[in-house]
Structure 1
Amino acid sequence: MTETTVQPPSTAGSGRTGALARLGSVMAGRARVVVGVWLLVLIALGSAAPSVFSSLAGAGWQANGSESVQVRELAQQHFGGNSSAAVQVVVHSDTAQVSDPQMQAVLDEASAVFAGDPRFGAVLEPQPGMSISPDGNTGILIAGANASADDMVRAVDEHKAALTGLSGDGVEVYPTGASALWSDFNKANHDAMIQAELFSWPITLLIMVLAFGSLVAAGLPLLLTVAGLVASAGGLVLLNQVTPISVWAMNFAMMFALALGIDYALFMVARFRDALSKTADAHRAVAETMATAGKAVVLSGLTVLVSLSAVLLVPAPAVRTMAVGIMLAVAFVLAATLTLLPAALGALGGRINAAALPYATRQQHRSPRFARWGQLLHDRPWPFAIAGAGVLIVLALPVLGLKVAMPSIQVVPEQAPVRQGYELVQRQLGEGAPGALQIITPADQADSTAEAAAGAGIAMVTPGQSAVDGSGWVMMQALPAMDPSDERMSAVLDGLRDRLPDQAMVGGAPAENLDLQQALNDYLPIVISVILVLGFVLLLVALQAPLIAALGTLVSLGSTAAAFGVAKLIFQDGHGAGLLGFTPQGFLDGWGPVFFFAMIFAIAMDYTVFLLASAKEQFEHTGDARTAAVEGLAHSGRVIFAAAAVMVAVFFTFALAEPLPPKEMGIILGVAVLLDALVVRLVLLPVILRLTGRAAWWSPAWLGRVLPRISFAHH
């Protein structure tokens, strides 16, 4: 026996008897206390916030537990720090030899830079046949890593200016190596992110004013955003004292705090202004807002947090902590939305419409324009269903040919010292010289390891060096015959590992990149599965309706696939590369599918919750599926459209960045939001509600007994 579940007006949790309605009343009634508490929190966390970018970790791009990470740890313990984290200083002259006094003086000065810092281990002078070019004009000084990979990036941050400052009198000096790469890479991306954020704020404010029609109302989302940003920045600095947090975490936190802060404020303020038009009691209007829009915001925030939590499964510190950064920002924005915003709304009351534009006084929560659009979709569902699905399918098809790899040196600006040094080493010592593979083996297997290492794809194997502590290990370097980012490197590494004796291990920067890429590939289907299952469960709990919960999850997957299809056309195939100002690498950055999938799906489900919560509210009031579909869109369409416009503006500003990763992020997320809002939420999902009718809201009786009772109606 089954039944359709429609919450009656008296259901607990609806109206002002619900927990969120009571919370809203309390916050509105104690506005000064709430604001005071938030000020104390922001002062406490804000005191740590200014140091966020200098405090956070710069590395972490590794697969924990992998063979390459084990090699790095052994190299640091037993070989004076000559690991992948060591700093390589390229010294070059067109006229002088490395052995000349002029070059030796520069090498001595470089050694002196490292001498006073305990983070650096043994300093190895350039060696003939290994780190001196055949013509003798280029040498590589190696400063061992005596600290973690994150600390080595910080060390390069502090000393690279002194090292590059040694250039002059015909001698060029460039710090290179993985630590220097991450130092320059992080700086370039951080600068680009800040520039894009600053550029996006005026655009965001303009869209907000147009959406709200009031300067006062438009300022409230910025209140939430600033609170979320300051709190999450300080929180990340404090969390970094416990475990290293990637500096990228703050970059993404900034973007999500802005995007979701505006989303949530739009939904809440629009509902508050509607409630205020029916009652002069601001506190009662806040309670109604929290009982309806507040539930949708809570469920949306939980969906975002759940989607990003799946990324924590990936054993890569940088990827995990980027997710942590966004989750922290979302948590603070959500907390501000449920406490600070109701307090502000209760205090403002009718003044929420102060400094209003002329058309704003005529603006209603229910949009007649979106009501007409909803009716059109209801009357002619199949043409729109076919067109919408066709757009997503066509755009998603290229994803079948998507290639992924870790970023090449090309993602660093041409003028960056690390890139100049990298390319100089390639010209002077060979294509594979900047990315030597490190082989560590027991001393009794050194000869057989050296013999086996000299195979396909390996240009040279250096003589073995015994461990400085007499531990019985031997290290040798295998120089690839191709650029370390060449797609053939994966086969070279696999072949090398297959040939070597059982106890021999292969590491080095190229191996660490490839091991990380393999881990990302292995965990991608797991992360996607977890996100889909958890997203479905949350929608099921929220809507109490299995069919629409499943279909809502499925269409979110469609817009995500289409976004990656567009990413393949742009960043792998190079369509539009000239317009966007970049040189395609021939692949998408390796961490993109795992991380961007979680971000896109979280945003997509955000809009899904807004639309379906509104439709469910209408269905609970009327019991009519047609009314739910049309009126749900009429009451949420404007908010979804405005929120998407803000997000697209925010994300597309990152497309203007020079470094490739922020550009990838901006384009992929911007396209995803554009497709999700215009094609999925404003076309496909309303059409699905039309085609499924009452079945969309059907729920078996046993499910109603299992799930918590949630109602979106306010009575």
Structure 2
Amino acid sequence: MTGRAGADATIGGPLARLGATMAGRARWVFGVWLVVLVALGAAAPSVFTSLAGAGWQAEGSESVQVRELAQQHFGGNSSAAVQVVMHSDTATVDSPVVQRVVAEVTTEFAGDDRFAGVVPPQPGMTISPDGHTGIVIAGANASTDDMVRAVDDHKAALTALSGEGVEVYPTGASALWSDFNKANHDAMIKAELFSWPVTLAIMVLAFGSLVAAGLPLLLTVAGLVASAGGLVLLNEITPISVWAMNFAMMFALALGIDYALFIVARFRDALSKTADTRRAVAETMDTAGKAVVLSGATVLVSLSAVLLVPAPAVRTMAVGIMLAVVFVLAATVTLLPAALGALGPKVNAGALPYAKRQHHRSPRFARWGEILHNHPWPFAIAALAVLIGLALPVLGLKVAMPSIQVVPADAPVRQGYELVQRQLGPGAPGALQIVTPAESAVETADKAATAEGIAMVTPAQPAGDGSGLVMLQALPEVDPSDERMGTILDDLRAQLPEQALVGGAPAENLDLQQALDNYLPVIVTVILVLGFVLLLVALQAPLIAALGTLVSLLSTAAAFGVAKLIFQDGHGSGLLGFTPQGFLDGWGPVFFFAMIFAIAMDYTVFLLATAKEHYERSKDPKTAHIDGLAHSGRVIFAAAAVMVAVFFTFALAQPLPPKEMGIILGVAVLLDALIVRLVLLPVVLRLTGHGAWWSPRWLRRVLPAINFSH
């Protein structure tokens, strides 16, 4: 054992020694991973039913305070309460047939302690003027996440009460998230199933070997299973949004294949120069392994900035992706080297005829590098013109929280929502709730009634627990997702007495949007600074680290410009099968910026790490520029093809948010790989020459020594 350890010590740096150790102890590594996957895999199947369904709120905001007060003092009549809409074209609410349904709805909620008091339809408040529509309100006696689960448990029974000319639809914020999460989950699963065969086909074409093509999928499955089980266990400690798993699935697939492509391609090259499998693995991990670890660190750093946003759903989406990246990275530096060590030359088994002519240094990308080297300015100007032209529309980008249109037209919550609007007015589904001390109830009611954009204010309802508080409902004149809603809320809050608090579902959405808007500049700054620092540490060269960060920012802006043209302006909406909302979903800029920038920096690290490796060997910027592209271009192209295929499958989704996510990320990868990594960044290396890799002596002393040559 001592001899083996001594041999490993002479084989290279820490990652080289780790790779050699994993390759030499493959059975132990497989055994440990098997235990981990069995343990976490046992929890994985329950991931979509265990995780939280809500969390779209700005913690500490005025609207969240109102919801908490409503649950404490007003029988749970908060934004999380479940509203059951009943309508009959022939019978009125006070008729026996409708009253029988009211009783059945009440019975359905009885015995479930997640519901507080059940309030039957009230004249002048929850009964339409013609008397044919009424709303039963089941108060919330649990967290927003538990209320979504409660709707999951009861909505089938509630909708089954429809009959004898009476329609029954559960609606409200909790029902909205219940229906949307289901539609979103179904769409994500369909997209994932569609993307797997496409991914495998691209892998076979890229590697030309069935065995080599299977290794990225092995890595991805391990990352997916481990992250799914990890999220279920983490959910026992703190609520994790079900969206976390949706994004984790996507990133585990995309990044797992990215990392495996880079490692396996480099291993096959190393194996062609030595018969010692362990040394080939060591060389691979000492070069490509460093790039992968630095890339993973960049992704984690970018996503960690999202944790600043005080919104549980947004934070836990970032946590889900970060957990998936951690497991994929762990598998990349342990499981993959062990598999490569066990396979050795068999990694090329099942090779297709053309694959025997493949070399790690691609002649095609070398010729492309020569073209860019000989004609840098035309390509630089063309690439910048495309990116800037696509980025300009971002200046007119509008954002808002999703409207009811994010759920399918046949979803019960949307049918109930639209029914309430037809019968009680456009703003009826989004009543604003006002909580104020009883002594200021009259003043509050008078000022609310005269506020701009308020159609009606209900009489003050005193709290039943002697707290001295009252609640009023203010019905806006416009749909809750109308862009005028923000002005109405701001004016109402400004006019009411200081002690009056305004909440309700529309206010929660607007408060969350405000928090997202406030934190966006902070998050962008943090991501850019940390991304630059990581590139600086990795490359030891301030100029190329700054330029690499800048071009990543440019490609990110271009992706958002395309998103504005598609989702706000509606270009291509008919082809993609959606009705534009006139804005991008509010969490998009914060979250997608982190995701797109992470992916962009992923490719930046791959290209620049390879170029730095050749510069360290040759000290020639031309060699670094051309050989960096020749050795990484095919991998970047193949990895981008996989990512684009994975992301664009989500464009087929029915719900709008997965469609937004797939198209925005797919366009971002397409622009980044084709224009930035394969044109603009190589041209930047050509134009900066030795200056790209220059570093002041004092900086080299401060930074840790990282070399990419082996």
Query: Over residues 681-709 of structure 1, what are the superposed CA-to-partner deviations in whole Å (9 max), with x where a residue is unaligned?
Result: 00000000000000000000000000000
Partner AA of 1:709 in structure 2? A
Distance of 1:15 and 1:614 partners within structure 2: 23
Q: Is the 8 A contact 2:240 2:313 kept in 1?
A: yes
Pairing partner for 2:519 from 519, 523, 540: 523
Partner AA of 1:519 in structure 2? A
1:283 aligns with 2:285: no
**Counterpart for residue 353 of structure 2:** 358
Distance of 1:197 and 1:623 partners within structure 2: 45
Pairing partner for 1:260 from 242, 255, 262: 255
1:296 aligns with 2:291: yes
Partner AA of 1:625 in structure 2? P
Distance of 2:201 and 2:324 partners within structure 1: 23
Matches within 5 A, 1:41-56: 41-56=36-51
1:507 aligns with 2:532: no
Q: Is the 8 A contact 1:14 1:291 kept in 2?
A: no
Distance of 1:47 and 1:87 partners within structure 2: 33
**Counterpart for residue 381 of structure 1:** 376
Pairing partner for 1:232 from 218, 227, 230: 227
**Relative to structure 1, is the Cα distance of residues 166 and 699 closer, same or farther in structure 2, using a 3 angstrom cutoff?**
same
Moved over 6 A (4+): none
**Counterpart for residue 666 of structure 2:** 670
Q: Is the 8 A contact 1:399 1:561 kept in 2?
A: yes
1:177 aligns with 2:172: yes
**Counterpart for residue 5 of structure 1:** none
Q: Is the 8 A contact 1:544 1:699 kept in 2?
A: yes
Matches within 5 A, 1:92-107: 92-107=87-102
1:445 aligns with 2:440: yes
SS in 1 for 2:695: strand
Partner AA of 1:556 in structure 2? S
Pairing partner for 2:587 from 591, 594, 607: 591
Matches within 5 A, 1:563-574: 563-574=559-570
Query: Identity of paired residues, percent?
Result: 83
1:338 aligns with 2:333: yes
Query: Over residues 329-366 of structure 1, what are the superposed CA-to-partner deviations in whole Å (9 max), with x where a residue is unaligned?
Result: 00000000000000000000000000010011110000
Q: Is the 8 A contact 1:438 1:506 kept in 2?
A: yes
**Counterpart for residue 192 of structure 1:** 187
SS in 2 for 1:136: coil
Matches within 5 A, 1:188-587: 188-454=183-449, 455-587=451-583
Distance of 2:193 and 2:590 partners within structure 1: 27
Distance of 1:61 and 1:14 partners within structure 2: 51
Distance of 2:10 and 2:453 partners within structure 1: 70
Distance of 1:257 and 1:24 partners within structure 2: 21
Partner AA of 1:75 in structure 2? A
Distance of 2:332 and 2:608 partners within structure 1: 20
Q: Is the 8 A contact 1:88 1:140 kept in 2?
A: yes
Pairing partner for 1:605 from 601, 604, 618: 601
Distance of 2:301 and 2:488 partners within structure 1: 38
Query: Over residues 563-622 of structure 1, what are the superposed CA-to-partner deviations in whole Å (9 max), with x where a residue is unaligned?
Result: 000000000000000000000000000000000000000000000000000000000000
Distance of 1:525 and 1:387 partners within structure 2: 29
Partner AA of 1:66 in structure 2? S
User: How far is the alpha carbon of 1:247 from its aligned partner?
Assistant: 0.1
Distance of 1:56 and 1:652 partners within structure 2: 26
Distance of 1:587 and 1:109 partners within structure 2: 40
Pairing partner for 1:22 from 2, 17, 22: 17
Structure scoring higher RCO (CA < 8 A, sep ≥ 6) equals 1
**Relative to structure 1, is the Cα distance of residues 563 and 420 closer, same or farther in structure 2, using a 3 angstrom cutoff?**
same
Distance of 1:103 and 1:17 partners within structure 2: 79
Task: Note the residue ranges of structure 1 that are not aligned, 5 or more in a row.
Answer: 1-12
Pairing partner for 2:638 from 642, 653, 660: 642
**Counterpart for residue 126 of structure 2:** 131
Q: Is the 8 A contact 2:520 2:589 kept in 1?
A: yes
Partner AA of 1:587 in structure 2? F
Distance of 2:683 and 2:37 partners within structure 1: 44
SS in 2 for 1:339: helix
Task: Note the residue ranges of structure 2 that are not aligned, 5 or more in a row.
Answer: 1-7
**Counterpart for residue 57 of structure 2:** 62
User: How far is the alpha carbon of 1:495 from its aligned partner?
Assistant: 0.1
SS in 1 for 2:434: strand
Q: Is the 8 A contact 1:15 1:291 kept in 2?
A: no
1:632 aligns with 2:628: yes
TM-score (norm 2): 0.98
User: How far is the alpha carbon of 1:16 from its aligned partner?
Assistant: 2.6
Distance of 1:281 and 1:16 partners within structure 2: 12
Q: Is the 8 A contact 2:9 2:17 kept in 1?
A: no
**Counterpart for residue 651 of structure 2:** 655
SS in 1 for 2:667: helix
Distance of 1:17 and 1:664 partners within structure 2: 45
Distance of 2:139 and 2:80 partners within structure 1: 8
Give me the CA root mean square deviation: 0.8
User: How far is the alpha carbon of 1:17 from its aligned partner?
Assistant: 2.4
User: How far is the alpha carbon of 1:461 from its aligned partner?
Assistant: 0.2
**Counterpart for residue 4 of structure 2:** none
**Relative to structure 1, is the Cα distance of residues 15 and 690 closer, same or farther in structure 2, using a 3 angstrom cutoff?**
farther
Q: Is the 8 A contact 1:76 1:82 kept in 2?
A: yes
Q: Is the 8 A contact 2:568 2:581 kept in 1?
A: yes
Query: Over residues 364-387 of structure 1, what are the superposed CA-to-partner deviations in whole Å (9 max), with x where a residue is unaligned?
Result: 000000000001000000000000
Query: Over residues 491-514 of structure 1, what are the superposed CA-to-partner deviations in whole Å (9 max), with x where a residue is unaligned?
Result: 000000000000000000000000
Q: Is the 8 A contact 2:12 2:282 kept in 1?
A: no
User: How far is the alpha carbon of 1:212 from its aligned partner?
Assistant: 0.5
User: How far is the alpha carbon of 1:128 from its aligned partner?
Assistant: 0.4
Query: Over residues 144-166 of structure 1, what are the superposed CA-to-partner deviations in whole Å (9 max), with x where a residue is unaligned?
Result: 00000000000000100000000
SS in 2 for 1:17: coil
TM-score (norm 1): 0.98
User: How far is the alpha carbon of 1:14 from its aligned partner?
Assistant: 12
Distance of 1:441 and 1:290 partners within structure 2: 64
Q: Is the 8 A contact 1:296 1:610 kept in 2?
A: yes
